[in-house]
């Protein structure tokens, strides 16, 4: 398989590095600013001009999880531990389900095309491309009727369906890339279809499945509209709580909000780096490979 790195044409020297570094840093500055603010004390955070050199403090991160009560008693836990757990639990479970169902479907679409295969795939992609707000109007009503809103089962079922189109298209693109000769050889030798899938096709797409998993977890981790309308106080995810935090009447606590955002985005930024080679495929739902 050809290298999937973000490839380049020609060579350039350190001069290009300098230019690119300047532009990249400016481009990344909004993220950098938030991360810096997260480590600043309140007065440093509001100082002008922006302080680039300061003594870092972890107090903002502590106050994300623990709030000191007014009476000066013991610190009381904020809900954020729960919200981070919810984001991970809901994301992980729904993506795992979507990936299992999606891999089976992707293998079917790739190896045993149905009549009207492309129509099915198109419809599946459309359920993904449509504005979430359209789907959520009836879902919101149905969830209330069936008592599913605010439950883990409801939101996990919804996110499974939300991740399914993405998983199918992504995993199908990996199956499509495989060289068929080896499978055919195995069939000639009398391997059952299950064995062809399990021993030949699947091992070749493990890396792709891992990339799909991580991508889908990021998408779910970032998702806001469904979570806003369909999670309750116990199942609330991080993005919803962040947006609620800025809505507070007490005025914005910059340090706290930045610390929250930092905890929320740092995993994504790090994972993006690991996924760099699959990024093009991931952001286009597997429709563009190279």
Partner 1 sequence: MTSLTPVQIPPQTIAAAPSPRRSARGFLGWLMAPERRGPMLVAPAIATLIVVNIFPLLWSYGLSFFSYNAKYINRPPRWIGLDNYVDAFTDPEVWDRFTNTAVIVIGSVAVQLVVGFLLALLFAREFPLRRYLLMLVLAPMMLSLSAVGVFFKLFYEPTLGFIPRIVQTFTGVPFVILDTPTKAIIAIICADAWMWSPFVMLLVLAGLVSVPKYLYEAAEIDRASTWRRFRTITFPYIRSLLLLALLFRTIETFKIFDVPYVLTEGGPGTSTETISVYLFRLAFNYFRTGRASALGYIVLFGVIVLTSLYLYAIQTRRSEAG
Binding test (CB under 8 A) with partner 1, winner from 58, 182, 185, 283: 283
Residue (2 or 70) nearer to partner 1, CB: 2
DSSP string, 134-171: HHHHHHHHHHHHHT-TTSHHHHHHHHHHHHHHHHHHHH
C-alpha 98/C-alpha 91 separation (Å) is 10
Residue (70 or 153) nearer to partner 1, CB: 153
C-alpha 67/C-alpha 85 separation (Å) is 18
276 lines the binding site for partner 1 (CB under 8 A): yes
The footprint of partner 1 on residues 33-52 (CB under 8 A) is 33-34, 46, 48, 50
185 lines the binding site for partner 1 (CB under 8 A): no
Residue (69 or 104) nearer to partner 1, CB: 104
Nearest to 176 by CA among 264, 75, 30, 286: 286
Binding test (CB under 8 A) with partner 1, winner from 73, 138, 147, 203: 138
User: Which 3 state secondary structure label does DSSP give 47?
Assistant: coil
The footprint of partner 1 on residues 236-255 (CB under 8 A) is 239, 242-243, 246, 252, 254
Binding test (CB under 8 A) with partner 1, winner from 61, 257, 259, 278: 257
In this structure, are residues 97 and 155 in contact, taking their beta carbons and an 8 Å threshold? no
The footprint of partner 1 on residues 13-32 (CB under 8 A) is 13-14, 16-17, 19-21, 23-25, 27-28, 30-31
Binding test (CB under 8 A) with partner 1, winner from 134, 153, 249, 250: 134
The footprint of partner 1 on residues 75-104 (CB under 8 A) is 101-102, 104
C-alpha 229/C-alpha 234 separation (Å) is 13
With b meaning 16 or more CB within 10 Å and e meaning fewer, what string describes 82-116? bbbebbbebbbbbbbbbbebbbebbbbbbbeeeee
* Least distance in angstroms from the C-beta of 256 to partner 1: 12
145 lines the binding site for partner 1 (CB under 8 A): yes
C-alpha 254/C-alpha 246 separation (Å) is 9
């Amino acid at each position: 398989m050809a290298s999937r790195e973000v490839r380049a044409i020609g060579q350039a020297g350190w001069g290009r590095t300098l230019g690119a570094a300047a532009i990249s840093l400016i481009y990344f500055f909004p993220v950098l600013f938030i991360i810096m603010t997260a480590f600043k004390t309140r007065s440093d955070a509001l100082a002008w001009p922006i302080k680039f050199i300061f003594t870092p403090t972890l107090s903002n991160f502590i106050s994300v999880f623990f709030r000191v009560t007014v009476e000066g008693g013991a610190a009381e836990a904020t809900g954020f531990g729960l919200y981070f757990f919810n984001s991970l639990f809901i994301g992980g479970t729904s993506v795992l389900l979507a990936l299992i169902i999606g891999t089976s479907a992707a293998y079917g679409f790739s190896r045993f095309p149905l009549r009207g295969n492309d129509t099915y795939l198109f419809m599946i992609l459309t359920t993904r491309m449509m504005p979430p707000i359209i789907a959520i109007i009836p879902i919101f009503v149905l969830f209330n009727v069936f008592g599913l809103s605010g439950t883990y089962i409801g939101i996990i079922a919804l996110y499974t369906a939300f991740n399914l189109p993405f998983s199918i298209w992504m995993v199908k693109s990996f199956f499509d890339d495989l060289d068929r000769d080896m499978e055919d050889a195995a069939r000639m030798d009398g391997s059952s279809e299950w064995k062809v899938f399990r021993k030949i096709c699947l091992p070749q797409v493990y890396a792709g499945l891992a990339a799909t998993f991580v991508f889908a977890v990021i998408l779910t981790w970032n998702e806001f509209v469904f979570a806003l309308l369909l999670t309750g106080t116990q199942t609330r995810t991080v993005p919803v709580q962040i947006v609620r935090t800025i809505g507070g009447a007490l005025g914005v606590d910059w340090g706290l909000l930045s610390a929250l955002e930092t905890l929320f985005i740092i995993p994504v930024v790090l994972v993006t780096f690991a996924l760099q080679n699959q990024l093009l495929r991931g952001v286009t739902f597997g429709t563009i490979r190279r």
